[in-house]
Structure 1
Amino acid sequence: MSGEAMGGTDTGAGALSPLGRVHFVGIGGVGMSAVARVMVARGVPVSGSDAKDLPVMRDLAALGARIAVGYAAENLEDAETVVAGSAIRADNPELEEARRRGLRVLHRSEALAAAMAGSRVIAVAGTHGKTTTTSMATWMLRGAGLDPSFAIGATVPALGVNAAAGKTDVFVAEADESDASFLNYRPLVEVVTNVEADHLDHYGTEQAVHAAFDAFAALLPADGLLVACADDPGARALAGRVRALSGAPRVLLYGSADDADIRVRFDPTGSSLEWEGTVHALPLSVPGLHNVLNAAGAFAAAVAVGADPARAVASLADFTGASRRFEPKGEERGVRVFDDYAHHPTEVRAALAAARAVAGGHGVHVLFQPHLFSRTREFAREFADALAAADTVRVLDIYPAREDPIPGVTSELVTAHLPAGAYAADPARAAADLAQAAVAGDIVLTVGAGDVTSRGQEILEALRGR
């Protein structure tokens, strides 16, 4: 790095022209809408549908996309390419119609790869922290006067969107490992925040997860850069394996470890990072050591493609986080309510640690909704251990997302290892319980990747009526 930007090529908007009119099945999803938004901005004729009428669909319609609510074969009209994500079932009528017509069918990641063609791509991967790190890298590049394209797995309130087509040849993308689709990208810079067992419904074993990240790192060209977290054993091990390869790309470690190339110092009153002999204060408003680490990884990527280090770091003073990442929902009677997307034990532990730091000596009360039957089966005990850090816990029924129920797998696998009363069959009663337990100065945190996010308002209402 040393202040020099990594070279690149002109952006390849022309790479999208062979796709013709593109139809997105499930366009309301955060990942799908991000790709659709970039394509619309690049002049691609876009249409799409989803089962529900979601706000992002109205936004896309205002930009010129043709939008339908509900799935039906006729929604394809004159589409030449159809895009679908992993959550779309094979018997979806629009997918069936696309196959009947012999249309080109792309996975969401393949469509994003086409949108990134010709760009200097920063791909952010990891079991946890991808969304925040991608958001921070985008924010720092903008703060340093660059205008990257980006596609993020959540809306960033300060940006107002989850994706945009920028004016430079830099493209920042969240790289989802859940189904190994991140192997469709061709990045110049990779940030790997951590590597842990997850998505075992797809991978089967932890070893297969690590092998997928090895394959991801192998996508880097010889002049590329791998940025890995030194504080995470999985990411550190990946960096070591890459460094041992002949003709390997450069590798930078970030973290609190002594051998980190970018050293961080975590202090709730003022953290910092050290890069090439210069210490930069990190003016973060998002709490927790995990966010200091995320900022360091994002910093390395931003500087690698030309961002001025001082300007990049200074811009974090205005970064308020990504949607559903320790997002404040309101305050009543001195009790603050936050919402967090955490859905893996390590993420839950980090969210609770951040809540403790924000609460000071006050209490932390958690409403948790497990996400996926398979993940609950694999990590029930680990979830319970992470939740035990809260003063009060209520655990809702599992949010199934794309999965069918697994016999014998319920939230009670988690609550069996928690105090009596932790399982909550009635969400409204659970919200009332937490509102009753909290006193001024405490924090209530809704946690999970499902619809638990909507319960924050119920908790606030219960606090008002207490």
Structure 2
Amino acid sequence: MLIEPVELVGVAELGAVHFIAIGGAGMSPIAAMYAALGVPVSGSDQADSPTLAGLAALGIRTHVGHDATQLGDAATVVVSSAIRETNPELVEARRRGLRIWHRSTALAALMLGRTGVAVTGTHGKTTTSAMTAVLLTGAGADPGYVVGSALTATGRAWHLGGGAAFVVEADESDGSFRQYPAAIAVVTNVEADHLDNWGTPAAYAAGFVDFATAPGVVTVVISADDPGAVALTPAIRRAGKHVVTVGESAGADVRLSAIESTQGGSRAVLTADGDRGDLVLAVPGRYNLHNAAAAYAVGRALGLPGAALRAAASGFSGTSRRFEPVAEIAGVRIFDDYAHHPTEVAATLTAARGMVGGGRLVACFQPHLFTRTRDFAGEFGRALALADEIVVLGIYPAREDPLPGVTGRLVADAAQALATGPVHYVETLAGAAPALAAIVRPADLVVTLGAGDVTRVGPELAGLLESIA
């Protein structure tokens, strides 16, 4: 189901606000910002967590479990796309006739009165929005921001900021990216995904055009290299938007050249109007240089000096679950990554390959969603075949119910047909770390991949390796 835009109301006019599933990565930063602005905030989540404790420390009334009585005197209720209509708090909110907003609307309200920057794309939107926040901050702009994953340097995914700019990660999966009042729109790439909501690749692509040509958008930063983005650029130009292209193509407005890997990082020469110099990152991967170029283009659109933006890029140390180091035990390096689309898996493993050295690249992948697994099992197998040894887990369902015949084994079989090394299928998450512990050896680099709870596997593997070291 697609989320349609609604009319925005200023945060000060919302009354008390209750967030259902307040502990989620997409909800907790918004709730924290509302509380920081003096709004009475409450919220509930299905399980206790450090996030709930952190929100409570900000003065937010938090609850474990969902119950209609927990709405209290709320005038506005905020939900995410994952909340089912049967949730007792949502049922009660509808019965009372309260204002019910999707999380994107609650986030969009924070942008009112600011110069909005909305970053979207099938891949890379979390890193690009985080890089944009870091580059603007380093160049002295003090932006507000809400991104999908905590910055490694600060441990936070949000900042109110005192400057004019406000940066958000705009989720295209449910169409909610069309809600944001942005002056600058960023499109990192466009590749078919989330067809359970959009129906067809053409409809999905058209949603990006709607996003980029919204009435308030002045400047669109878009990839000059990605075929899906390039295909949409003429329609965006016809809508009268100022388009800034970024990438390695000869005609890119912000162009990358002389790309190379460094020890744990990457670098390129960046050339743009009136500026040319080194772009040096402390994170690996060609794709991260592209993300940084888009962030740079946003800064230039806001009038910031190119040299200051390039210098600030070196201060970006990553975000949670984006090729994040977990541990190094007994000569085995363990990383964790959020990659959950075939293109993302391939990009992450390609970057990891450049860091392996004399060992092997071991991938542990947990498919996310039954529909995505059904639609892209073959593509996942092709991407995973970039690793030397592969462990595939059962599907993390998230919001979906099972589909007949769709299991993680579809991905494992696809990988087995193409891989040069062993492929193992482990149905349960509990079996993942023991399976990895049995196959890894010194000098190996292990990457856990997926958008579900596979993030637990890395620390569990580290614990097992430490116990037998």
Under TM normalisation by the shorter chain, which class is it?
Answer: over 0.9
**What's 1:79 paired with?**
74
**What's 1:444 paired with?**
446
Secondary structure of the residue that 2:73 maps to in structure 1?
A: coil
**What's 1:139 paired with?**
134
Per-residue CA deviation, residues 261-290 of structure 1 (Å, 9 max, x unaligned), is: 111122113323111253221221111010
Distance (whole Å) between structure 2 residues aligned to residue 277 and residue 254 of structure 1: 15
Which residue, out of 104, 112, 119, partners 1:117? 112
Q: Which moved more, 1:248-257 or 1:315-324?
A: 315-324
**What's 2:313 paired with?**
316
Q: Which runs of structure 2 are paired with 1:239-254 in the superposition (5 Å)?
A: 239-245=233-239, 248-254=240-246
Distance (whole Å) between structure 1 residues aligned to residue 444 and residue 411 of structure 2: 24
Secondary structure of the residue that 2:244 maps to in structure 1?
A: strand
Q: Which moved more, 1:68-77 or 1:416-425?
A: 416-425
Which residue, out of 360, 364, 371, partners 1:363? 360
Check the 8 A contact 1:256/1:264 in 2, yes or no.
yes
Which residue, out of 433, 436, 448, partners 1:434? 436
| Structure with more contact order per residue of length (Cα contacts < 8 Å, sep ≥ 6) | 1
Q: 1:221 to 1:284 in 2, by over 3 A?
A: same
Distance (whole Å) between structure 2 residues aligned to residue 229 and residue 220 of structure 1: 21
What value does the CA root-mean-square deviation take over the aligned residues? 1.6
Q: 1:459 to 1:83 in 2, by over 3 A?
A: same
Per-residue CA deviation, residues 133-180 of structure 1 (Å, 9 max, x unaligned), is: 000000011111121111111111212211121111210000000100
Q: 1:406 to 1:38 in 2, by over 3 A?
A: same
TM-score, normalised via structure 2 length? 0.93
Which residue, out of 169, 177, 202, partners 2:197? 202
Distance (whole Å) between structure 2 residues aligned to residue 387 and residue 31 of structure 1: 28
**What's 2:41 paired with?**
46
Q: Report the alpha carbon displacement of residue 35 of structure 1 after superposing the two structures with TM.
A: 1.2
Check the 8 A contact 2:408/2:427 in 1, yes or no.
no
**What's 2:214 paired with?**
219
TM-score, normalised via structure 1 length? 0.94
Secondary structure of the residue that 1:398 maps to in structure 2?
A: coil
Tell me whether 1:375 sits opposite 2:377 in the alignment.
Answer: no
Which residue, out of 275, 279, 290, partners 2:272? 275
Q: Report the alpha carbon displacement of residue 331 of structure 1 after superposing the two structures with TM.
A: 0.1
Distance (whole Å) between structure 1 residues aligned to residue 176 and residue 211 of structure 2: 10
Check the 8 A contact 1:370/1:396 in 2, yes or no.
yes
Distance (whole Å) between structure 1 residues aligned to residue 443 and residue 311 of structure 2: 30
Check the 8 A contact 1:73/1:93 in 2, yes or no.
yes
**What's 2:5 paired with?**
none
Distance (whole Å) between structure 2 residues aligned to residue 43 and residue 427 of structure 1: 41
Distance (whole Å) between structure 2 residues aligned to residue 190 and residue 331 of structure 1: 39
Which residue, out of 152, 158, 178, partners 1:157? 152
Distance (whole Å) between structure 1 residues aligned to residue 20 and residue 63 of structure 2: 10
Check the 8 A contact 1:189/1:220 in 2, yes or no.
no
Distance (whole Å) between structure 1 residues aligned to residue 441 and residue 241 of structure 2: 53
Secondary structure of the residue that 2:427 maps to in structure 1?
A: coil
Q: Report the alpha carbon displacement of residue 115 of structure 1 after superposing the two structures with TM.
A: 1.3
Distance (whole Å) between structure 2 residues aligned to residue 318 and residue 121 of structure 1: 23
Matched AA of 2:110: A
Distance (whole Å) between structure 2 residues aligned to residue 334 and residue 314 of structure 1: 34
Secondary structure of the residue that 2:270 maps to in structure 1?
A: strand
Distance (whole Å) between structure 1 residues aligned to residue 190 and residue 433 of structure 2: 34
**What's 2:248 paired with?**
256
Q: Report the alpha carbon displacement of residue 118 of structure 1 after superposing the two structures with TM.
A: 1.2
Check the 8 A contact 2:126/2:149 in 1, yes or no.
yes
Q: 1:84 to 1:274 in 2, by over 3 A?
A: same
Q: Report the alpha carbon displacement of residue 198 of structure 1 after superposing the two structures with TM.
A: 0.5
Q: 1:450 to 1:174 in 2, by over 3 A?
A: same
Q: Report the alpha carbon displacement of residue 17 of structure 1 after superposing the two structures with TM.
A: 1.6
Check the 8 A contact 1:157/1:320 in 2, yes or no.
yes
Check the 8 A contact 2:370/2:397 in 1, yes or no.
yes
**What's 2:4 paired with?**
none
Tell me whether 1:167 sits opposite 2:159 in the alignment.
Answer: no
**What's 2:419 paired with?**
none
Q: Report the alpha carbon displacement of residue 321 of structure 1 after superposing the two structures with TM.
A: 0.4
Distance (whole Å) between structure 1 residues aligned to residue 270 and residue 65 of structure 2: 49
Q: 1:309 to 1:421 in 2, by over 3 A?
A: closer
Distance (whole Å) between structure 1 residues aligned to residue 63 and residue 30 of structure 2: 17
Task: Could you tell me which runs of 5 or more consecutive residues in structure 2 were left unpaired when the two chains were aligned.
Answer: 1-7, 417-421
Check the 8 A contact 1:25/1:49 in 2, yes or no.
yes
Q: 1:82 to 1:14 in 2, by over 3 A?
A: closer
Tell me whether 1:89 sits opposite 2:94 in the alignment.
Answer: no
Task: Could you tell me which runs of 5 or more consecutive residues in structure 1 were left unpaired when the two chains were aligned.
Answer: 1-12
Tell me whether 1:300 sits opposite 2:297 in the alignment.
Answer: yes
* Residue identity (%): 51
Secondary structure of the residue that 2:148 maps to in structure 1?
A: strand
Secondary structure of the residue that 1:53 maps to in structure 2?
A: coil
Per-residue CA deviation, residues 102-145 of structure 1 (Å, 9 max, x unaligned), is: 11101111111111111100100000000000000000111111
Q: 1:16 to 1:346 in 2, by over 3 A?
A: same
Check the 8 A contact 2:392/2:423 in 1, yes or no.
no
Which residue, out of 284, 287, 290, partners 1:287? 284
Distance (whole Å) between structure 2 residues aligned to residue 441 and residue 228 of structure 1: 39
Matched AA of 2:465: L
Distance (whole Å) between structure 2 residues aligned to residue 176 and residue 205 of structure 1: 17
